[in-house]
Amino acid sequence: MIPPRLEPLLRADGLPARLAARFAGAGHDLVLVGGSVRDALLGRGRPEEEHDFATSAKPDETIEIVRDWADDIFTVGKDFGTVGVIKDGVVIEITTFRREVYRDDSRKPGVAFADDLETDLSRRDFTVNATALRMLPEPSVVDPYGGLVDLGSGVLRTPLDPEVSFGDDPLRMLRLYRFVSVLGFTPDRAAARAVADMVDRLSIVSAERIRGELDKLIVGDHVEAGLWGIVESGLAGRFLPELSALAAARDPQHRHKDVLAHTIAVVGKCPPDRIVRLAALFHDIGKPDTREFGPDGVSFHHHEVVGARITRARMKALRYSGEDIEAVAGLVYLHMRPHTFKLGWTDRAVRRYVRDAGPLLDRLNTLVRCDVTTRSAKRERAILRRIDELEQRITELREREELDRIRPPIDGNAVMAFLGIGPCRTVGEALDMLLEHRLDHGPYEPEEAFELLSSWAEQRGMKVPEDDG
At residue 301, the pLDDT reads: 67
Q: Which residues lie closer than 8 Å to 68 by C-beta, 6 or more apart?
A: none
Distance CA 302, CA 325 (A): 20
At residue 297, the pLDDT reads: 60
Average pLDDT on 46-74 reads 90
Q: Which long-range contacts (CB under 8 A, 24 or more apart) does 422-429 make?
A: 426/462
What percent of the chain is predicted at pLDDT more than 70?
89
Distance CA 109, CA 77 (A): 12
What is the SS3 assignment for 345? Answer: coil
At residue 469, the pLDDT reads: 47
Answer whether 286's CB lies under 8 Å from 304's CB.
yes
- Mean pLDDT over all residues of the chain? 88
Predicted confidence (pLDDT) per residue in 398-449, tens digit: 777 666 677 888 888 988 888 888 889 988 888 888 888 888 878 888 888 8
At residue 254, the pLDDT reads: 47
CA 96 to each of CA 118, 169, 200, 364: distance values in angstroms, whole numbers, following the listed order: 13, 17, 30, 45
Average pLDDT on 9-24 reads 92
Q: How confident is the model at residue 244 (pLDDT cuts 50, 70, 90)?
A: confident
Phi, psi of 33 (to 5 degrees): -150, 165
Lowest mean pLDDT among 50-54, 251-255, 267-271: 251-255
- Short-list 234, 285, 241, CA closest to 259: 285
Q: What is the pTM of this model?
A: 0.83
Phi, psi of 155 (to 5 degrees): -115, 140
DSSP 131-166: -EEE-SSS-EEE-TT-HHHHHHHTEE--SS-HHHHH
What percent of the chain is predicted at pLDDT more than 90?
55
Helix (H) or strand (E) holding 50: strand 50-55
CA angle in degrees (0–180, nearest 5) for 410-412-416? 105
- Short-list 224, 73, 99, CA closest to 167: 99
Give yes or no for residue 33 having a pLDDT over 90.
yes
CA 62 to each of CA 22, 31, 71, 87: distance values in angstroms, whole numbers, following the listed order: 10, 13, 14, 14
Distance CA 248, CA 235 (A): 17
Distance CA 256, CA 454 (A): 58
Distance CA 408, CA 443 (A): 8
